Structures are given as structure tokens and as C-alpha cells.
A = this chain, B = another copy of it.
């Protein structure tokens, strides 16, 4: 139940409404955890009944009322103890539909496999472009002046860039290999 912890995390920065949190998610946390608005609203209510957050209605004129949530001390300590807890063994690549496809793609012709790999390269490129955009926001200001949490998010972005770069390199090597095999096979067909 880590959506709960993601919510505690964003609320630890400042009080927010469900709507604010959703936008915050879309803007900053979504690349490691995302959730739909209805899931966020539901979870916030459950967290309130568990005493981790408190809500206050704020009336507005011309716009719907807002329901602002704030952490309780219980919420803060739940967040801290989760952050520091060391959970044993988590699978590193669980539930990745691309990897599952690749596991079975030997059934399909090489041309289909190449299509799959190229599509994945495009996904990786998109992710990397995002990291670059986010990282460039940091480089303006001298790093040591950032609050600790932001420094860590900077480290995280650098890590994901390095990891995804390795994936990209692997995909390109494989694509190359397959294209040469395919080219050789076609050449044989023509000359033979």
C-alpha cells in the first residue's frame, strides 16, 4: 500500500487538496508512482479515518469548495518509519509488459521483434528526454543550496538516466545484430 506513502510524502512538503496532489503527482512523482484522481480521493478519506491526515473545507466564491489535507503527527511518523524500513527482496522488473512480450517473442517473425524493440527505444527516449528536462531545472542554481529532499530527487533522476541509458544501449546492440542477420539472410536468398 505505497500509494498511501506517496501521499504522505507530498503532504509532508505542504498541505494540499486531492486536486493539488494529483497535479503534483503528474508534475513530479509520476515517473516512479502514479495514481488516478479517484484513487487519490478514496485513499485520502481512508487515511483520514485512520488518523494519518486531517481535512478542512475551504469555501471559495465561483469555484467548488476545496478540501485541504494536512498530516497529523501519526501521519508524519508513519511516513518516517516507512522511509527508513528496509523491505527485503523486491523483484526489480516485475509486471513489465514489454519484458513479458520479449519473453515470448520468439514465436513471432524477426520483423515483428524488431518492431517491438524499436517501439521500446522510442519509449526509453521519451523517458530520457523527461529526465533531461527535469535535471536542467537543477543545474541553474548551485546544487548545495537545494534542500536535502531535492538533492535526493536529483540523484534519483541521474540514476534513472544511467539505468535507462543502459537499456537503450542494449536495445540498439540487439537491433543491430538482428538487422545484420536479416540482411545476411536476404543476401543469401538473392545469391543462392
Q: Which A residues contact B (CB, under 8 angstroms)?
A: 2, 5-6, 9, 12, 29-34, 79-80, 82-84, 86-87, 89-108, 112-113, 115-116, 119, 123-124, 126-127, 147-153, 155-156, 158-160, 162-167, 169-171, 174
Q: How many identical chains are in the complex?
A: 2
Is chain A's interface secondary structure helix, strand, loop, or mixed overall? helix
In the assembled complex, 13 residue pairs joining A and B whose CB atoms fall closer than 8 Å, in A order, are A5-B104, A29-B100, A31-B93, A31-B94, A80-B107, A83-B116, A84-B116, A86-B116, A92-B127, A95-B95, A104-B149, A105-B152, A162-B167
A32-B99, A84-B112, A107-B80 known; A170 and B159 CB under 8 Å?
yes
A6-B100, A83-B105, A152-B105 known; A34 and B91 CB under 8 Å?
yes
